Amino acid sequence: MSTDLMPNRYRPGEVNLPARDAELIARRDAVLGLSYRLQYRRPVHFVRGEGMWLYDPDGRAYLDFYNNVPSLGHCHPEVNAAMAEQAARISANTRYLEPRLVDYAERLVDAFPEELNRVVFTCTGSESNDLALRIARLASGGEGVIVSSYAYHGTSAAAAAVSPNLGDAVKLSPFVRMVSLPGPAGIPESQAADFFEAQVRSAILDLNRRGIGVAALLIDSIFSSDGVWVDPPGFITGGVAAVRDAGGLIIADEVQPGFGRTGIHMWGFERHRIVPDLVTLGKPMGNGFPIGAVVGRKAPMERFGATARYSNTFAGNTVGIATADAVLTILQRDQIPQHALAMSEQLRAGLEGLAKKHRGVRAIRNAGLFFGIDIGPDEIAIPEKRAMALGVVNAMRDDGVLISTTGANEDTLKVRPPLVCQAEHVDLFLATFERAITNVAV
């Protein structure tokens, strides 16, 4: 496991920078907290975005194949217009009657299985997971939370305490149990479901023996921070059943896979043929505007609401709702998930062709337009694989295409373009990737 909290980052003294950027970095360092880090060895400086592109102060365009937040593309004009129109009228909270709040809530839950028919709004994915944990603990009577071994679920105190990805200095809750995934453990797909269920049952046994009980299994259904371990579809179902048998709830963290990212389905959990008890939403919900939500079953949501207060001043504000409503309209009207699936098939085919030519591509995994590409042949050591992956990322950055890394060893490329990418963008990505993998190949 990598001990560097952000391997793909700027380190002072490694590269020569233009005076303009060096001065700005010096000003950042003099005023911002040390937890801020700049991405890429040579930091990027952007002044505007449009669709698939980001532009630096000199007008150079960079193709964004990393950013899942503006899932409809940077500065989508229809989304921006909805945001501006509402901001020009009023920005109010959920304690006042507001028809658009109810209209959007109805539309949003209609996009889910019928069992999931209640929604509470938040501002971020972290807040969504924080709230979902509170609901699950109240509804179940347990405290224990089961997560994957390199999961990331947010930055609030409660969410960070269930996020092994954040590093050893961020202490996990003593009520957390981590489970290994079959893919990273080298388990064949035919045995994946049994392996995962056994891991979950072992965690449940330990939590119960210690008198903690089980509140929830909290999963990102494409396990993005673990390295995008998406297959086989349905391998989590036995673990889900085990948690429910133990009285716990299932929380699907859809901040990464939700809103059509997987192509086939609107929500990542649908790919695994489950219906969770609570679903947490964030980033792409507002195409960059900070809005999130917890969507859930009536029983746990109403039990929580009847016995605990939850009032968030900015969550569900009218500007955020107008923005999110525009995003949902475009996703459904323009059949964005179906388009994303077509683009993912083109990208997958291109990557598989390159893998046959270049030993540096070890494996390719994806669900729709979220790809994990393992870099480095099996026979080389993990640090060498990580160095290769970072070399590819930074070579592509210098060539005008943005991606990053993920996984416990940071030797997996994370590729997740906005869902509106077109065939010519896929072709440009593939050409740039081939140049990079050729230059860093062992």
User: How do the domains of the chain map onto residue ranges?
Assistant: 19-74+336-440, 77-333
Task: Indicate the DSSP class of residue 155.
Answer: S
Q: What is the pLDDT of residue 441?
A: 65
Mean pLDDT calculated for residue range 1-25: 76
Mean pLDDT calculated for residue range 67-74: 94
Strand partners, 365: 372
Q: Could you tell me the pLDDT band of residue 41, with boundaries at 50, 70 and 90? A: confident
What fold, for 19-74+336-440?
Aspartate Aminotransferase, domain 1 (3.90.1150)
Q: Which two tokens stand for residue 213?
A: 């009980």
Say what the pTM is.
0.94
Task: Indicate the DSSP class of residue 388.
Answer: H
Q: What is the pLDDT of residues 334-347, one digit of tens each?
A: 999 999 999 999 99
Contact 409, 1 (CB under 8 A): yes
Assess whether pLDDT exceeds 70 at residue 4. no
Assess whether pLDDT exceeds 80 at residue 274. yes
439 vs 129, higher pLDDT: 129
In angstroms, the CA 267 to CA 281 distance is 10
Q: CATH class for domain 77-333?
A: alpha beta
Q: What is the pLDDT of residues 120-151, one digit of tens each?
A: 999 999 999 999 999 999 999 999 999 999 99
Q: What is the pLDDT of residue 347?
A: 98
Contact 207, 144 (CB under 8 A): yes
pLDDT more than 70, % of the chain: 98
Q: What is the pLDDT of residues 345-368, one digit of tens each?
A: 999 999 999 999 998 999 999 999
Average pLDDT, the chain: 94
Q: Could you tell me the pLDDT band of residue 5, with boundaries at 50, 70 and 90? A: low
SS3 state of residue 118: strand
In angstroms, the CA 94 to CA 100 distance is 11
Burial of 46 (0-12, 13-18, 19+ CB in 10 A): middle
How crowded is residue 113: how many other Cβ atoms within 10 Å of its Cβ? 16
Q: What is the pLDDT of residue 439?
A: 87
Strand partners, 415: 371
Q: Could you tell me the pLDDT band of residue 167, with boundaries at 50, 70 and 90? A: confident
Assess whether pLDDT exceeds 70 at residue 1. no
Mean pLDDT calculated for residue range 80-99: 93
Q: Could you tell me the pLDDT band of residue 25, with boundaries at 50, 70 and 90? A: confident
How many angstroms separate the Cα of 330 from the Cα of each of 26, 61, 284, 416? Answer: 41, 25, 12, 19
In angstroms, the CA 76 to CA 431 distance is 26
Torsion region of 59: left, alpha or beta (phi above 0 gives left; psi -120 to 50 gives alpha) = left
Range in 12-21, 104-113, 350-359, 385-394 with the lowest mean pLDDT: 12-21
Q: What is the pLDDT of residue 8?
A: 79
Q: Which two tokens stand for residue 134?
A: 């509170």
In angstroms, the CA 364 to CA 419 distance is 19
Contact 379, 360 (CB under 8 A): no
Contact 384, 288 (CB under 8 A): no
How crowded is residue 308: how many other Cβ atoms within 10 Å of its Cβ? 10
